[in-house]
């Protein structure tokens, strides 16, 4: 079990994007790994592109950060030119153009989500090759493998905001329990007509699943109650 | 308001002492001498109409189109030098395609108008280019509803409820102002435009003309297209009847 500290930072990750009646909820775990080492246990994988469009990043951390920076820059100019906020579709398209045209060099799977006045809440999936696909909900990252069946059963159209938020948090925590490359805390971002709301769910607020142990105090505490005998010779 | 700008009118990069660029004003004259072009914004779409003066009896009807589709959702009607107009249409088409390739959605009409206006203006900035001798009326229907823009040879572009260029523009504007556009559908608008064009056509000065009409509205599924033949004929009949009524007075 060798710690390869020069391995590229990867957002091993679980990312989720879900539409609900009135907007979208984006969710992600917070683990950034360098090989086996957790480089950042509290990272923020949900990045702002514009006031009304955010992106969940998975794959190479560097690649997704650079793509986000470029798209933020292009969208800023586009907004000035247009005189009104950019649509989610445009943001997603710019992401996929970069992803597709540089597919040989990039490892980036992202979920673009946001709200605009024409189409309301929308989720666009842009996986590794640069496909763009609009979906009512989307999952990505290494942890998503464990969520396909879960969403098949738990997803429904036209949820309320509370239902959608709880679904995202539950799903993320399930994936984090099984996927070694996902973990830490759950962050969510809600985007709707009123604006953007960020929420944080620490480890102690997340439910425990099968075979996960309750947190307990260290057993060494039992020893410290009696004065330790000095060692003889 | 026309004056000879002797000495200050040889180049588009020369201002006159009273702050005018004469070459641009001369370019506008080319537009003023062409057949009338009208655009109106009805409550459910746009209607564009052109008085296409026929120079020769040998010309095939329907040829030498003055109204062009730039994109699925918008069309351009050209007044002035036709060849210059073709260039503007080509540029507009290319802008629309590039926008959609980059941004993944059809170009908003406002953006298209901005780009056409910038392009026309560009050609007024260099001495080795001449200004376009044509003006265009751009009508389109996008997510923000139907919109009508007019671009002049100077590069000025405004958004309008009703616009007219060419010989009969003054008379046409007066007629358009009488219409209640916000309550009119495009179907009714087509008839009105035909009446106006027939009305402003000068029988004495010009000979025959062909009426070209196009629309983009809810009825055409928000696609820019030639007005269907049956409606076109209906419009022409109504326009001719209206003329007779006027003459009968």
Q: Is A13 a catalytic residue?
A: yes
Tell me the residues of chain B between 110 and 129 that have a Cβ less than 8 Å away from chain A. Answer: 110-111, 114
Backbone angles phi, psi at B9, to 5 degrees: -115, 15
| Angstroms from B102 CA to nearest CA on chain A | 7
pLDDT, one tens digit per residue, over B181-208 is 999 999 999 999 999 999 999 887 777 8
Please judge whether A97 and B110 are an interchain contact, meaning their C-beta atoms are less than 8 angstroms apart: no
Tokens of A62: 């560097």
Q: Which residue of A has its CA nearest to B103?
A: A90
Question: Which pLDDT score is estimated for B7?
Answer: 87
Query: How many Å apart are CA B53 and CA B70, to the nearest integer?
Result: 23
* Residues in A touching B104 (Cβ below 8 Å): 89-90, 92-94, 132
Question: Which pLDDT score is estimated for B3?
Answer: 60
Q: Is B103 on the interface with A (CB under 8 A)?
A: yes
Question: Which pLDDT score is estimated for B241?
Answer: 93
Query: How many Å apart are CA B74 and CA A88, to the nearest integer?
Result: 23
A212 confidence band (pLDDT: 50, 70, 90):
confident
Q: DSSP alpha helices (H): ranges in B104-228?
A: 109-122, 169-178, 186-200
Please judge whether A87 and B105 are an interchain contact, meaning their C-beta atoms are less than 8 angstroms apart: yes
Question: Which pLDDT score is estimated for B120?
Answer: 96
Are B228 and B186 in contact by the 8 Å Cβ rule? The answer is no
Please judge whether B110 and A83 are an interchain contact, meaning their C-beta atoms are less than 8 angstroms apart: yes
ipTM: 0.85
Query: How many Å apart are CA B230 and CA A1, to the nearest integer?
Result: 81
Q: Is B108 on the interface with A (CB under 8 A)?
A: yes
Question: Which pLDDT score is estimated for B141?
Answer: 96
pLDDT, one tens digit per residue, over A65-113 is 999 999 999 999 999 999 999 999 999 999 999 999 999 999 999 999 9
Residue corresponding to tokens 């997603």: A92
Query: How many Å apart are CA A132 and CA A96, to the nearest integer?
Result: 6
Q: Is B98 on the interface with A (CB under 8 A)?
A: no
DSSP-derived letter for residue B123 is T
Question: Which pLDDT score is estimated for A124?
Answer: 98
Backbone angles phi, psi at A153, to 5 degrees: -90, -40
Please judge whether B104 and A82 are an interchain contact, meaning their C-beta atoms are less than 8 angstroms apart: no
pLDDT, one tens digit per residue, over B206-215 is 778 899 999 9
Q: For a pLDDT cut of 70, what percent of chain A falls above it? A: 92
Query: How many Å apart are CA A124 and CA A140, to the nearest integer?
Result: 12
Backbone angles phi, psi at B4, to 5 degrees: -85, 130
* Residues in B touching A81 (Cβ below 8 Å): 111, 114
Question: Which pLDDT score is estimated for A11?
Answer: 56
Q: Is B159 on the interface with A (CB under 8 A)?
A: no
Does residue B145 carry a pLDDT above 80? yes
B111 closest CB neighbour out of A82, A92, A118: A82
pLDDT, one tens digit per residue, over A144-161 is 999 999 999 999 999 999
Distance of CA A67 to the CA centre of its chain: 16
> Could you write out the three-class secondary structure of B2-60?
CCCCCCCCCCCCCCCCCCCCHHHHHHHHHHHCCCCEEEEEECCEEEEEEEEECCCCCCC
DSSP-derived letter for residue B142 is E
SS3 B13: coil
């Amino acid at each position: 079990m060798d710690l390869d500290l020069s391995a590229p930072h990867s957002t091993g990750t679980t990312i989720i994007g879900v539409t609900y009646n009135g907007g979208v909820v984006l969710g992600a775990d917070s683990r950034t790994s360098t090989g086996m080492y957790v480089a950042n246990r509290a990272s923020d994988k949900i990045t702002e592109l514009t006031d009304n469009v955010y992106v969940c990043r998975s794959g190479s951390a560097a690649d997704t950060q650079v793509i986000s920076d470029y798209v933020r820059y292009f969208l800023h100019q586009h907004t000035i030119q247009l005189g009104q906020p950019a649509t989610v579709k445009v943001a997603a398209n710019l992401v996929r153009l970069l992803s597709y045209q540089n597919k040989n060099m990039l490892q980036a799977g992202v979920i673009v989500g946001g709200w605009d006045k024409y189409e309301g809440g929308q989720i666009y999936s842009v996986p590794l090759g640069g496909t763009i696909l609009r979906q009512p909900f989307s999952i990505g990252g290494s942890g998503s493998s464990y969520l396909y069946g879960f969403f098949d059963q738990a997803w429904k159209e036209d949820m309320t905001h509370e239902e959608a938020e709880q679904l995202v948090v539950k799903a993320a925590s399930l994936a984090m329990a099984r996927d070694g490359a996902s973990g830490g805390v759950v962050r969510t971002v809600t985007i709707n007509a009123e604006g953007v709301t960020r929420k944080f769910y620490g480890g102690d607020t997340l439910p425990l699943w099968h075979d996960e142990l309750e947190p307990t105090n260290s057993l060494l505490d039992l020893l410290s109650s009696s004065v330790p005998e000095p060692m003889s010779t | 308001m026309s004056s000879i700008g002797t000495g200050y009118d040889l180049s588009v990069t020369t201002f006159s002492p009273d702050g005018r660029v004469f070459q641009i004003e001369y370019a506008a004259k080319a537009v003023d001498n062409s057949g009338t072009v009208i655009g109106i914004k009805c409550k459910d779409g746009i209607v564009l109409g052109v008085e296409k003066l026929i120079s020769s009896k040998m010309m095939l009807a329907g040829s030498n189109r003055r109204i062009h589709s730039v994109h699925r959702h918008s069309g351009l009607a050209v007044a002035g030098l036709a060849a210059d107009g073709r260039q503007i249409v080509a540029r507009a088409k290319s802008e629309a395609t590039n926008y959609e390739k980059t941004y993944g959605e059809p170009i908003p009409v406002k953006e298209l108008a901005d780009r056409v206006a910038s392009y026309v203006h560009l050609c007024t900035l260099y001495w080795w280019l001449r200004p376009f001798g044509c003006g265009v009326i751009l009508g389109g229907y996008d997510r923000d509803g139907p919109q009508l823009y007019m671009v002049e040879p100077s590069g000025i572009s405004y958004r309008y409820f009703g616009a007219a260029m060419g010989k009969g523009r003054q008379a046409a504007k007066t007629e358009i102002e009488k219409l209640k556009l916000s309550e009119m559908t495009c179907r009714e608008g087509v008839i009105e435009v035909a009446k106006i064009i027939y009305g402003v056509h000068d029988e004495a000065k010009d000979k025959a003309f062909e009426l070209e009409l196009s629309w983009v509205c809810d009825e055409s599924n928000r696609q820019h297209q030639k007005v269907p033949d049956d409606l076109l004929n209906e419009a022409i009949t109504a326009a001719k009847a209206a003329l007779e009524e006027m003459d009968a007075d």
